[in-house]
């Protein structure tokens, strides 16, 4: 049903070796990744601390031209939207619970020339899409609670993926549906079958010995859908 490139794979560099991040990003792109998922955690909205805009800018200066998909797990969000856009982000998403003015944050992302996404945690209701879907370029559904790589996929998210897919199809707009957390070769087909078209995978890829072989394995599993 799906062809391999209709589903984008976004390795999360949260599980990369930070001591040689530029080389890690080069390697995963060389291995066939479509975009780079960049997890920003602030030890406030989530209980972990990762990278800021300087790291995104450094990857651009290093020569990375692939889209960088910045997943903001920070509160507040607006200032970092602007900082990441200036640092070379391509896609920017945020959690609605972390913004006082969700519509303003979405439009701020678009004004900066980036694709705007809203991220829904496993327990966040789809009501957040009622008045936002028409302004979004993508929806990011969390299939783990945000904050850490290497967690197990929460299967109760599968019907939620289907529900968002139905809403997107009903909207008639080209909104991508990204899913993030615990995705591996063993479950990626279920996630795509439920309606996802953009897959984040951190530990599955960066925890493997051969990134190209792992990406081939993920795409082969998608082909079974
Ligand atoms: C979790 C992050 C994810 C994480 C995914 O808060 O948003 O992007 O890195 O890692 P895995 O694929 O290992 O669950
Ligand atoms: Zn993420």
Task: Kindly state whether residue 20 falls inside one of the protein's structural domains.
Answer: yes
Task: Kindly state whether residue 114 falls inside one of the protein's structural domains.
Answer: yes
Task: Kindly state whether residue 120 falls inside one of the protein's structural domains.
Answer: yes
Task: Find the CATH number of the domain harbouring 29.
Answer: 3.20.20.70
Find out whether 11 and 33 touch, Cβ atoms under 8 Å. Answer: yes
Res. 106: pLDDT tops 50: yes
Task: Kindly state whether residue 203 falls inside one of the protein's structural domains.
Answer: yes
Backbone angles phi, psi at 51, to 5 degrees: -125, 155
Does the CB atom of residue 184 touch ligand 1 within 6 A? no
The model's pLDDT over 40-90, given as tens digits with 9 standing for 90+, comes to: 999 999 999 999 999 999 999 999 999 999 999 999 999 999 999 999 999
Distance CA 214, CA 222 (A): 12
Instruction: Give the number of domains in the chain.
Output: 1
Does the CB atom of residue 22 touch ligand 1 within 6 A? no
- 93 closest CA partner among 6, 179, 215: 179
Does the CB atom of residue 181 touch ligand 1 within 6 A? yes
The model's pLDDT over 140-155, given as tens digits with 9 standing for 90+, comes to: 999 999 999 999 999 9
Output the pLDDT for position 5: 56
Does the CB atom of residue 37 touch ligand 1 within 6 A? yes
Q: Which atom of ligand 1 lies at the shortest distance from residue 202's CA?
A: 12
Res. 225: pLDDT tops 60: yes
Task: Kindly state whether residue 216 falls inside one of the protein's structural domains.
Answer: yes
Res. 111: pLDDT tops 90: yes
Q: How far is the CA of 178 from the centre of ligand 2 (A)?
A: 10
pLDDT band, residue 10 (cuts 50/70/90): very high
Does the CB atom of residue 200 touch ligand 1 within 6 A? yes
Distance CA 52, CA 12 (A): 15
Q: Which atom of ligand 1 lies at the shortest distance from residue 153's CA?
A: 14
Task: Kindly state whether residue 52 falls inside one of the protein's structural domains.
Answer: yes
Substitution candidate for ligand 1 out of 41, 46, 181 with most atoms within 8 A of CB: 181
What range defines the domain where residue 83 resides?
Answer: 8-222
Q: Annotated active-site positions, please?
A: 39, 180
Task: Kindly state whether residue 113 falls inside one of the protein's structural domains.
Answer: yes
Sign of CA dihedral 170, 176, 179, 183: positive
Q: How far is the CA of 140 from the centre of ligand 2 (A)?
A: 9
Atom 9 (ligand 1) nearest CA? 149
Instruction: Tell me which ligand sits closest to the C-alpha of residue 121.
Output: 1
């Amino acid at each position: 049903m799906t062809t391999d490139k209709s589903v984008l794979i976004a390795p999360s560099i949260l599980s990369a070796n930070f001591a040689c991040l530029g080389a890690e990003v080069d390697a995963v792109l060389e291995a066939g990744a479509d975009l780079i998922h960049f997890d920003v955690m602030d030890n406030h909205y989530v209980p972990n601390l990762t990278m800021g805009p300087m790291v995104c800018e450094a990857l651009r200066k290093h020569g990375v031209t692939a889209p960088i998909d910045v997943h903001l797990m920070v509160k507040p969000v607006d200032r970092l939207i602007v900082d990441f856009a200036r640092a070379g982000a391509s896609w920017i998403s945020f959690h609605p619970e972390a913004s006082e003015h969700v519509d303003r944050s979405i439009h701020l992302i678009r004004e900066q020339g980036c694709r705007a996404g809203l991220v829904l945690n496993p327990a966040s209701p789809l009501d957040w899409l009622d008045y936002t879907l028409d302004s979004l370029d993508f929806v990011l559904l969390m299939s783990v609670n945000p904050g850490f790589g290497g967690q197990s996929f929460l299967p109760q998210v599968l019907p939620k993926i289907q529900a968002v897919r139905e809403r997107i199809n009903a909207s008639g707009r080209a909104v991508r549906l990204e899913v993030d957390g615990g995705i591996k070769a063993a479950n990626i087909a279920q996630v795509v079958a439920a309606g996802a078209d953009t897959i984040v995978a951190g530990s599955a890829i960066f925890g493997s010995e051969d990134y190209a072989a792992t990406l081939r394995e993920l795409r082969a599993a998608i082909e079974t859908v």
